[in-house]
Chain A
């Protein structure tokens, strides 16, 4: 597969996943506030902080009001990670690889794009929780369409790598931001909290019900265990990185596996996660852990770009064209 095409599919998937997570953040926060009408400012600030782009926000918006934060994270076309920008990038990426993805996937993403554009040009006020639920649903539909219509070829696998790395990153950010607002002042990590507080963390990751099936009652330790280290919950960091690794195993690289930085780094991260326990993470600081995790994920992302997608000088490895292979075998 063309390196440029692999790159576009990778970023298409990452951006759809990014928009979905932005929507999750806001939907959960909006619902949370309905139950806690007094805590407006306190809830919105951390969302901005989790993006790491507080400076941009301070310059362009100032106060952490719901209106400001929703505008920033939803419709700000100049902010690269707003839902509007992410879906626009995803669609631009898809447009450059329309021949490499299924028509169904393209049409679904195109509809997604028009849905966001229509909402952005609707002047009747900020969207409500329903809008963000719709965004999540569009993202589910996109992923479902991709999975149901595309051959598990190189293109699909690079898309899956992008999706899974973005998901691992965003799930860890959810934990980071909610830990900051809800859980950090709690002395005893084994205290059971009321549903409202902790369920918002899990709901951000669609993990509330799945968690309940597994653990029934909630503790911070279990939440960290579930969102970071779980092997089976599809939005857990450990699970997502493992999925990315599986897809990387399915695509042939330009260098032998033992020299492939993308594979080596991913394996290193998985080994590290396997050696950790939730309590260790909490004791050494959730925020510090998430910082480290995001750095590791970024390094994997960079290695993927360098290994499979960056322009290399000629010749690294010349593949015989199919016809030549045939000639040789005659």
Chain B
């Protein structure tokens, strides 16, 4: 999984004394929210609205029972093979992505806000992509500086002038959200390329339903099980009108990709073939797959392979994973690709800073969900501020992911700060900075008691006829005390995300489903 490295805060050692030895009964009686925003409890220690049932149920469950259920879940995940391989481990050790049984609960009214914000954002981003690969009005009108667009590494000249089927570029998006101490939800990253993790959302839900059927039923949690059906409809929507029963496939880089499990899971759940580059061949600008009966035409490809590796004729020549000629077939409208090539430009961290402006520019609306405050080093004022405050800020390179090219101010040495000061001065376009954030927390089982652990949230948005947001998402949790790194390779785990249904707040506008 391409997981991001979130900004850590300094270890708060002076607080550890509050964790007394009495916490051995796996209840919330001694749970401390400390100075963080807690998703389950208000600052005064009472459960937030919607969490009462869960809190009561856990408090009344024998500790041994809860522990047994947590163990049963881990075993079930191993049995189902929901694992990732530890690279470089000769013995083939596979680990499960750790799962914590205390769910993150999202209130109906809050979800309504998130959903509206995500739909708005994805509409604006889609208009932005279509604009920059055609007339570039946003640049011509002076909203986005031209040099910022031209220097975006993930801007694909190969995509200029392309009209993707139905005018949609970003069909599947997994946006990373965080909640800060001020209680507000912010967008941290957009992830318009191949966002992963949705399979964990579905599997986490499955094991939670098995483990806590009663709490689950009473809490009125909105279902996530129909994601594959929505995904299928989103993909089928891309097929040409004269293909009422299109051949849809999922394209994977292969079994050694860390998200391979998800690729096969989604293909299986949709009932479509999972193909590798070697299974496809382009002939006369049509795409075919090699079957036991001969060659069969393919209409829609949900590709989980980056632009760079998709087609050695159009992108990286050394790619062994791709399909030669795929881009030309796409350009001629003979195959649909989701997501469209070229969407990665919106993942550039400098472009990200302009998304609120895009929303105003294209939709004439104010953003529902704010960005994290972002200093763009290309701007002189911002740069000066960043250079003066390197010790407090998190500095990120524009086109890196997974925590590379990053300075975490409060954790850095003066040498590292000096090095980044030079890097920023040498190539200001490539750097942004953000304040160090205190992510919200959710109670998490730690040995024989509960402690708060920091979380983020990745909801998934599908753009078919209209944008649709899966009511749930991947809550990633930093299992290490004080850590804000939710990355699975660095002690991160996940939790089920419960979006609560509420009468009066329509779970879904039927017109908007695809």
User: A: which residues have CB within 8 A of B?
Assistant: 1-6, 88, 92, 95-100, 103, 106-107, 110-111, 114, 117, 154, 158, 251-254, 308-309, 311-312, 314-324, 326-327
**Of listed A1, A309, A321, A324, residue having the most chain B CB within 10 A:** A321
Q: Is the CB of A315 within 8 A of B289?
A: no
Say which residue of B80, B244, B265, B279 sits within 8 Å of A2 (CB atoms): B279
Q: Is the CB of B245 within 8 A of A322?
A: yes
The digit string for B232-247, where 1 denotes a CB below 8 A from any CB of A, is 0000000100111111
Q: Which residue of A lies closest to B247 (CB)?
A: A321
Known: A107-B81, A318-B288. A99 touches B264 (CB 8 A): yes
Q: Which residue of A lies closest to B295 (CB)?
A: A318
A154 to B291, alpha carbons, bound, how many Å? 11
Q: Is the CB of A323 within 8 A of B245?
A: yes
Q: Is the CB of A319 within 8 A of B243?
A: no
A312 to B281, alpha carbons, bound, how many Å? 11
Q: Is the CB of B291 within 8 A of A323?
A: no
Known: A107-B80, A110-B79, A319-B297. A1 touches B291 (CB 8 A): yes
Stretch of B268-276, B437-445, B477-485 with 4 or more beta carbons under 8 angstroms from chain A = B268-276
- If over half of A's interface residues share one DSSP class (helix, strand or loop), that class is named, otherwise mixed; here it is helix
**Which residues of B sit under 8 angstroms from A4, Cβ to Cβ?**
276, 278-279, 290
Say which residue of B92, B245, B272, B293 sits within 8 Å of A326 (CB atoms): B245
Q: Is the CB of A319 within 8 A of B80?
A: no
A/B interface sample: 25 pairs, CB < 8 A? A2-B292, A3-B291, A4-B276, A4-B279, A95-B255, A95-B264, A96-B264, A98-B261, A99-B250, A106-B81, A107-B80, A251-B292, A252-B293, A254-B293, A314-B281, A314-B283, A317-B293, A317-B295, A321-B243, A321-B245, A323-B239, A323-B244, A323-B245, A323-B247, A324-B297
Q: Which residue of B lies closest to A108 (CB)?
A: B79
Say which residue of A92, A96, A158, A321 sits within 8 Å of B297 (CB atoms): A321
**B296 touches A (CB below 8 Å):** yes
**B294 touches A (CB below 8 Å):** yes
Q: Is the CB of A3 within 8 A of B295?
A: no
Say which residue of B250, B267, B295 sits within 8 Å of A316 (CB atoms): B295
Q: Which residue of A lies closest to B276 (CB)?
A: A4
Say which residue of B244, B292, B299 sits within 8 Å of A158 (CB atoms): B292
Q: Is the CB of B268 within 8 A of A103?
A: yes
Known: A107-B79, A107-B80, A327-B242. A320 touches B297 (CB 8 A): yes
A197 to B374, alpha carbons, bound, how many Å? 82
A321 to B281, alpha carbons, bound, how many Å? 15
Q: Is the CB of A315 within 8 A of B283?
A: yes
Q: Is the CB of A322 within 8 A of B274?
A: no
Q: Is the CB of A318 within 8 A of B297?
A: yes
CB distance from A279 to the nearest CB of B (A): 41
Known: A103-B268, A107-B79, A107-B81. A323 touches B243 (CB 8 A): yes
**B78 touches A (CB below 8 Å):** yes
Q: Which residue of B lies closest to A121 (CB)?
A: B91
- Add 5 more A-B contacts to A2-B292, A97-B264, A154-B292 (CB < 8 A): A2-B289, A98-B261, A158-B292, A321-B298, A322-B247
**Of listed B281, B289, B291, residue having the most chain A CB within 10 A:** B291
A208 to B101, alpha carbons, bound, how many Å? 51
Q: Which of B71-99 contact A (CB under 8 A)?
A: 78-81, 92
**B354 touches A (CB below 8 Å):** no
Q: Is the CB of A111 within 8 A of B79?
A: yes
Say which residue of A3, A107, A326 sits within 8 Å of B290 (CB atoms): A3
A326 to B242, alpha carbons, bound, how many Å? 9
Q: Which residue of B lies closest to A157 (CB)?
A: B292
Q: Is the CB of B294 within 8 A of A5?
A: no
Q: Which residue of A lies closest to B280 (CB)?
A: A2
**Which residues of B sit under 8 angstroms from A158, Cβ to Cβ?**
292
The digit string for B294-324, where 1 denotes a CB below 8 A from any CB of A, is 1111110000000000000000000000000
Q: Which residue of B lies closest to A8 (CB)?
A: B255
